[in-house]
């Protein structure tokens, strides 16, 4: 007879770990299956200073604290695995990992997270979390007084640039387009930011090691 969990959680980022903490603390038999390092994108962040109740820490440390909290309530965690098959129509539900190990649960919570869209230029991977950020409102304060480059040509890119207007000494906005794909208000606000500039139709030749 296979071991049956009350809850299987697919994903070990902040959402998955939070679900694991609550479920296991409620004395539910809980299993977290996580592809990669526990903590998700959180562990890639060099410094976190805007998390409620935490003055300053690294994403790796905060992720480890969440992991310890979950395991302290007897939540089981399997990381660095690959989910290869699942059957949510069965009772109990089945999740297979690495093509050879199956787990069964009465309920399954999906918390797979997401990955930021990378632009695949030199320096991006090496500097991720150490100068390369995918959230201006999260990390912009760390770059106060420095040149900041925003890459993109849509509303999100320009809104990120606008949110940085009180922080950088100079803001550059790169786009691979000859015109922006956005509403007028973000563009109007961006153009009002002092010491800001646009670089149009730039798809290749960007080196993040150089501009950061």
Q: What is the mean pLDDT of residues 104-126?
A: 87
Q: Domain ends where: 110, 128, 161?
A: 110
- pLDDT score of 18: 96
Q: What is the mean pLDDT of residues 40-62?
A: 84
**Of the listed 87, 98, 135, 141, which one is catalytic?**
135
Same domain, 141 and 94: no
Read off the CATH number of the domain in which 37 is found. 3.50.50.60
User: Within 10 Å of residue 101's Cβ, how many Cβ atoms?
Assistant: 12
Same domain, 103 and 157: no
Same domain, 28 and 84: yes
Same domain, 92 and 144: no
Residue 139 designated active-site:
yes
Structural domain range at position 42: 4-110
Q: Band of the pLDDT at 198, cuts 50, 70, 90?
A: low
Distance separating alpha carbons of residues 93 and 97, to the nearest angstrom: 14
Residue 135 designated active-site:
yes
**Of the listed 75, 87, 98, 138, which one is catalytic?**
138
User: How many domains is the chain partitioned into structurally?
Assistant: 2
Same domain, 57 and 142: no
**Of the listed 75, 87, 98, 139, which one is catalytic?**
139
Residue 124 falls within a domain, yes or no? no
- pLDDT score of 161: 72
Residue 127 falls within a domain, yes or no? no
Pick from 150, 153, 152: nearest CA to 182: 153
Same domain, 32 and 104: yes
Same domain, 83 and 143: no
The reply to whether the predicted model has a pTM over 0.85 is no
For residue 9, the surrounding DSSP H or E stretch is strand 4-10
């Amino acid at each position: 007879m296979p071991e049956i969990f009350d809850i299987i959680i697919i994903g070990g980022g902040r959402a998955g770990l939070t679900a694991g903490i609550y479920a296991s603390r409620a004395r539910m038999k809980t299993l977290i299956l996580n592809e990669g390092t526990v903590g998700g994108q959180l562990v890639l962040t060099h410094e976190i200073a805007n998390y409620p109740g935490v003055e300053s820490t690294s994403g790796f440390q905060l992720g480890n604290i969440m992991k310890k909290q979950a395991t302290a309530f007897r939540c089981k965690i399997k990381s660095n695995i690959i989910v290869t098959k699942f059957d949510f129509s069965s009772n109990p539900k089945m999740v297979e990992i690495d093509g050879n190990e199956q787990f069964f649960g009465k309920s399954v919570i999906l918390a797979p997270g997401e990955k930021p869209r990378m632009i695949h230029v030199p320096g991006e991977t090496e500097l991720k979390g150490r100068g390369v950020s995918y959230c201006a409102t999260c990390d912009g304060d760390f770059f106060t007084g420095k040149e900041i480059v925003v890459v993109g040509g849509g509303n999100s890119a320009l809104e990120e640039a606008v949110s940085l207007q009180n922080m950088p000494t100079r803001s550059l906005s790169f786009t691979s387009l000859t015109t922006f794909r956005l509403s007028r208000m973000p563009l109007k606000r961006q153009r009002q930011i002092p010491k800001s500039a646009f670089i149009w139709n730039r798809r290749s030749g960007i080196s993040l090691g150089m501009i950061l």
